[in-house]
Structure 1
């Protein structure tokens, strides 16, 4: 078990606080988000001995880490820009307790002009509607999407949202108060940016399944801001499948789009996503469609959400299979929706498959880059999960085709929807 906390360094001073909703830090193992004058710059794990002051111990480890990596100096802050008006879309299904926690954090955002839309996806009960319309009446907009699937729910949110920027997150996160401002500000600074993604960290590390997932990367994409530009693609040796390496760009729990750009590419493919036979891939599809349309995609570690990872081994098995299925489902969706992308995908496939095999072998050996510096040798990735992921990859195209038959002919909801913010 790891405690989860964040540590803010400012010169000789330091402030240690538990992750949102977590208990105070005591002796034991701790996973720490390190901030430097408020900005996320690193994560690490450390051990606080009995009787020691947690802040002192962890600050010493953090300063040592920063001295080793960047001399203790963070990258320069981007110019402060007024973020555009934004809408946050949260798709949910029968998890009112988790949803309430997420909404409380979203309502505490420091963004000057935003609204929240909750999409109740194929509900079985009235629990979500009652929560939103009673507890959050007048502060959160409620809509219902009867078609099961995360992408269909997101498309319903696009129809209901009126912001110039559309941000998406999950019902099992706690958003940092600066999350939405950090996620939407890049759009004001660069008119070519069509999508921005943010940093996703673990809210809890209390079960072996949660620790295992985070030990092998979790959802984090590091602490260096980066922009992908289809007009200036990265070298093939570094990213041989670009722009189809969508998993490197970010994840659906922390992503935002320029509203006009997202609508122009048709939003999310409703035959992808959790809740459909495709099992996933809705976010990856949207990332690549935005890039293929000529827009830039930007990643910023300044936009932080704390995510509740899956808790049990069975959850992790389902997740591994779903990731594999979602990967090949989204690639199938791209080819089905944009056949012009097929030659580019086929040209990159041989080098990409070789790269993927090398990465899989490295993870199977318990090695690889780990954001929090967990010892992957102590938390070896089970071969069963790798097998499930490969099985999912074989199933993904079939799952997508099954899902697509169910949604064929459905209109895009925002063409008839009434927007709000």
Structure 2
């Protein structure tokens, strides 16, 4: 009893500290070649920057190079204040203005292949419209957009697409619930050489698809590419805490993962799929993903499994010998969930997703069992570190991505670990539900 009371008290104290977190403005700062040239603009849907805390995406000649968290003093000019700090933290690369193309790659840009974008959605027409507007503003010359309406209960999504986006967006209905099922429905419908997936709560940078698909043209052996995900808003304590924990971003260094040449210093490869990217910003060579059988339909949000569909896709492609490339210049802005309860649900789902995808991989590729068992001791240590409690006093700062030194409350740590224990059970329940579903809804 005393232990339970102490746990409740700790949770209450954590929530109180959480509720005291101040909002953080979101902005983009583009540094020109001239030391005095800088353009500051608010993040998607945000008001102009004023005094106070600001999370800033720093660009050089349009290319994302890093982030920073700063405080603009009362009465100070936000552009001058943030530009001075950005130039210190993110100096111009050696070689001067001509060192790289605007997309961050040396030499001449490579023509990007045709791409189909799949957006799975369920009863979120307002968010979907914002995402579709950003997809229709892409600078890629050959884009197909497919909306998959997953287990709809109203006609709102279909009516939105037909009313506002007719002839520019294809509408497909998938009656069976589940994100992986919806993605597979989209995969079957697309025509592009590359198929990209994003969520209905993102705003895509205008160059997102150009940057995300270019690696496929440069590398015929590439099976998958992922990109950078940054917060569109940090208005609530939940949004700030999630981003302070690392968010969805994987840093600003391009990386290629090749199963023929496992990366040094990553002994768990390829079973640390969370390092590769996230489902809101991923693309596959269409033929490769189809050959892999698509996503396991017993994974993903909307099923008993609750997650793991994107991680499963990454590992399946690598297990087949395909390479995966992380492309930080391919950017989408994500609208994080807004409440503490949302964070609790998210933490549990993330924990479940980690063990769901591993279970799914072993069920579908049992030959990988020896490799997984050989990595199990290190894997358990990695899982403990990933879900460890970290002090919330003093907080962390949004912007230090792909690190695990940020605040993570005890309550969320416990939920994440419970989710990891639940994951295999959830996956098996989801498989049973699929087998039991009436024909035509699978």
Pairwise TM-score range, normalised by the shorter structure: over 0.9
- Cα distance between partner residues in 1 of 2:318 and 2:219: 15
Matched, 1:50 2:74: yes
Determine which of 317, 322, 346 is the counterpart of 1:290: 317
Given candidates 164, 168, 179, the residue that maps to 2:193 is 164
Shift of 1:396: 0.5
Answer whether contact 2:118 2:197 (CA < 8 A) is retained. Answer: yes
**Corresponding residue for residue 6 of structure 2:** none
- C-alpha distance in structure 2 between counterparts of 1:98 and 1:177, whole Å: 18
* Mapped partners of 1:31, 1:353: distance in 2: 34
CA distances 1:69-121 after superposition (whole Å, capped 9, x unpaired):
96797984324011101100000000000000000000000000011000000
Give the corresponding residue for 2:30: 8
1:65 matched to 2:94? The reply is no
Equivalent of residue 262 in structure 1, options 289, 310, 331: 289
Indicate the residue corresponding to 1:332 in structure 2: 359
What residue in structure 2 maps to residue 204 of structure 1? 233
2:20 alignment partner in structure 1: none
- Residues 134-283 of structure 1 mapped to structure 2, 5 A cutoff: 134-235=163-264, 238-283=265-310
Alpha-carbon contact 2:387-2:416 (below 8 Å) kept = no
1:306 to 2:333 alignment: yes
Deviates most, 22-31 or 100-109: 22-31
Change (3 A) 1:380 1:400: same
* Preserved CA contact (<8 Å) 1:194 1:258: yes
Distance 2:405 2:199 in 1: 30
Unaligned runs of 5+ in 2: 1-22
Post-superposition shift, 1:380?
Answer: 3.0
Q: What are the residue-to-residue correspondences of 1:360-399 with 2, within 5 Å?
A: 360-361=387-388, 364-365=390-391, 372-373=399-400, 380-399=407-426
Partner of 1:419: none
Equivalent of residue 378 in structure 2, options 338, 351, 354: 351
Q: CA deviation at 1:239?
A: 1.8
SS of equivalent to 1:206:
coil
Matches of 2:195 and 2:396, distance apart in 1: 31
Question: Any idea what SS the aligned residue of 1:16 has?
Answer: strand
Q: How has the CA–CA distance of structure 1 residues 169 and 377 changed in structure 2, closer, same or farther, with 3 Å as cutoff?
A: closer
Q: Is the 8 A contact 1:66 1:72 kept in 2?
A: no
Could you tell me how far apart the structure 1 residues matched to 2:367 and 2:28 are? 46
Alignment: residue pair count: 406
By how many angstroms is 1:21 displaced? 1.7
Cα root mean square deviation, aligned: 2.3
**Deviation readout 1:249-278 (Å, 9 max, x if unpaired):** 000000000000000000000000000000
C-alpha separation between the residues in 2 aligned to 1:312 and 1:246? 27
Q: Where do 1:36-47 residues align within 5 Å?
A: 36-47=60-71
Specify the SS of the correspondent of 2:84. helix
Distance of 2:189 and 2:119 partners within structure 1 = 12
1:21 alignment partner, SS class: coil
2-structure distance, mates of 1:281, 1:397: 11
Q: Deviations over 1:134-190 (max 9, x none)?
A: 111110000000110000000000111100000000000000000011001110000
